[in-house]
Structure 1
Amino acid sequence: MTPAATAAPGALALKVGELVEVRSAEEIHATLDENGELDGLPFMPEMLAFCGRRLTVHKVAHKLCDYIGHTGLRRMSEAVHLTESRCDGSAHGGCENACSIYWKEQWLKRVSADDPVTPTPDAGQRVLLPLLVRNSQKEPFDDGAVRWSCQGTEMQRAAPEALPLKHLGQYREDVVSGNAGVLQVLSAFLIAVFNRYQNLSKKLLPDFLLIRDGLHWGFLEGGVRSGRTPTEILDLQPGELVRIKSREEIMATLDSNLLNRGMGFDAEMSRFCGRTARVKARATRCVDERSGRMLTMKNPCIILEDIVCEGAFTANCPRQYVCWWREIWLERIG
């Protein structure tokens, strides 16, 4: 950590709906170590475009789902997600995951709507950008492919502490921060307890005593028992209106691991079955968080407007991943 970092602003204890301003690149640079990180969390090149902008707190990022080691929830400290601040992948090979960016509170300042807007000089950005670009890649793979580094790939370092279900303080924080209401928190907690019971029952009980074969809440079960899963090409384009097919129709396209040609479908996505939505984009490229390798889809997936993981079945995780949809899970309207 640089000497200037010791004088950096402290925690703000932000809550959902508060207005903040992203600090200048020069101020943020003072909080970063030689790897362009604060507490293991990278400040990415894509984030520089937000310097000086005013945004509202969308979610308080006090916990997150571990998609790398699948260890459950992990604790994050002094970080938030802001409205309209998703990574555009421009410095990471055109990754189309559109992850919600994590903002450390030290990179922000609380403001009111009446406060005058101060122009942000871009000189600090020119100084900081080379450091951020350099650290957006790691040692390449043996085949020469780029090994990307971003907030997603470094999440286990940025959130090193596991957050067990029994730590009840997390549910209070969900409510106090404004992330979720009391009923949402209670529902998510009961679902988590039920899923934990299902895991134990499959290990300890005979099959005839299992509830719905020991499946997690949502009770998804792939219908393809052998051979390749089916595919369908609709050539959907941005702006088109689609309906998300029923659970039964989608499960008929999944294998025993709830995959369709490598693309997963989960209980969080099943909550949107039957809903109509507009196509936002066709997506083919994403960085694998576990390895840092860029994955390229043979068949484009579809991203729908305003359809993100809401954490209803994952203890109200505020990460709000963008869902990727196979075209066979959708049907064109009109």
Structure 2
Amino acid sequence: MNLALKVGDVVEVLSAEEILATLDEKGELDSLPFMPEMLRFCGQRLTVQKVANKLCDTISGTGMRRMDDAVHLTAARCDGSAHGGCQTACLLYWKSAWLRRVDGPPTSEPVRVERPLLPILEVNTRKEAAPDGEERFRCQATELLRAAPERLPFRDLGQYVTDVQVGNAGIASTLRTLFFGLFNRYQRLSRKFPRWLRIRGGLAWGFVRPGPHTGPTPTGTIDLQPGELVRIKSKEEIVATLSTKGFNRGLGFEEDMARSCGRVARVTARVERCIDEKTGKMLEMKNPCIALEGIVCDGFYKSNCPRAFVPFWREIWLERISEPS
């Protein structure tokens, strides 16, 4: 059942019983899991934030993938409560079969879910243990390649028409993402050309250079806590902390993140654990990362991908600032 939803439409999440009736024995619909963390939204009226017509492949790096008949809803992120306390805070995927279109304003009233409805969902939050016996999790993020098996090439112009039609992006931002895509393809090719034919060394747009460190990268902690106000350091200051491969202690700094340099934001969480999408294993961070309020990846350089990741920041990339008087 395709509701032909667009950004800004108000929908009501169906009851737990109605949603469970759409799921198979794995707790999935079209290979997309419905997770226990989603039950708290049952009965609520929420606004469509983005139509999930595509997504960037962060598991195998194949580029964009096509997703059918799904949306992201405003303020509906996974809290990790059924997945070992994962703090990635992914924006949840909602199939149209789990929603109904309604008139009127959105609501956010909590709905009590009876425990007998949960077993099929809870048992499917785990995969078979790893060969070493380590627990492995299963969630929407780990199963996205099954839920979106079709690759979506950059040259498929239909995706950009859809972006505009459903309200995911305007005409200007769509033309912008086409320009970035073409530019970055030239940059990749130019690395095979003589140096004088490269633009800024063949870097992708956003021009984040690798760092100078061939050994361990610098670290620094300022014990930031949720609610504190910080400023993101300049791109040059952050790049100075990176390895020659662009990482600081295993955490990458990308072009989308560089767009937030200089911004002021509040800390929302100290991120200490998150699920590895490739393996399903829980990663325990030796150096906690910081999540910041209102700062997400908006797909600026990634074909207007609607996933809206919450990027993680090293404390060495941030500076605490005083509250405004």
Q: Could you tell me the TM-score, scaled by structure 1's length? A: 0.93
Gaps of 5+ in 1: 1-9
Distance 1:163 1:116 in 2: 35
Distance 1:116 1:96 in 2: 25
1:299 to 2:287 alignment: yes
Q: Which one of 277, 281, 284 corresponds to residue 289 of structure 1?
A: 277
1:194 to 2:194 alignment: no
1:242 aligned partner: 230
Gaps of 5+ in 2: none
Distance 1:138 1:153, change over 3 A: same
Q: Check conservation: 1:250, 1:329, Cα contact below 8 A.
A: yes
1:134 aligned partner: 123
Distance 2:311 2:110 in 1: 36
Distance 1:151 1:135 in 2: 11
Distance 2:214 2:109 in 1: 62
Q: What is the identity, as a one-letter code, of the residue corresponding to 1:80?
A: V
What aligned pairs does 1:88-99 form with structure 2 within 5 A after superposition? 88-99=79-90
Q: Which one of 262, 265, 275 corresponds to residue 263 of structure 2?
A: 275
What aligned pairs does 1:1-334 form with structure 2 within 5 A after superposition? 10-113=1-104, 122-123=113-114, 126-203=115-192, 205-334=193-322
CA offset digits 1:108-139 (Å, max 9, x no partner)? 0000118999997845xx34311111111011
1:5 aligned partner: none
Q: Check conservation: 2:217, 2:249, Cα contact below 8 A.
A: yes
SS in 2 for 1:148: coil
Distance 1:116 1:56, change over 3 A: closer
Q: Check conservation: 2:28, 2:34, Cα contact below 8 A.
A: yes
CA offset digits 1:211-256 (Å, max 9, x no partner)? 1111111111122232211111110111111110001000001112
Q: Check conservation: 1:222, 1:253, Cα contact below 8 A.
A: no
Q: Check conservation: 2:181, 2:301, Cα contact below 8 A.
A: yes
Distance 1:168 1:143, change over 3 A: same
Distance 1:213 1:107, change over 3 A: same
Distance 1:114 1:274, change over 3 A: closer
SS in 2 for 1:93: coil
SS in 2 for 1:21: strand
Distance 1:127 1:231, change over 3 A: same
Pairwise CA distance, 1:308: 0.4
Pairwise CA distance, 1:201: 1.9
Pairwise CA distance, 1:141: 1.1
Q: Check conservation: 1:24, 1:121, Cα contact below 8 A.
A: no
SS in 2 for 1:147: coil
Distance 1:37 1:49 in 2: 18
Distance 1:114 1:208, change over 3 A: closer
Pairwise CA distance, 1:93: 0.3
Distance 1:206 1:195 in 2: 17
Distance 1:106 1:251 in 2: 45
Distance 1:149 1:265, change over 3 A: same
Pairwise CA distance, 1:196: 1.2
Distance 1:150 1:309 in 2: 20
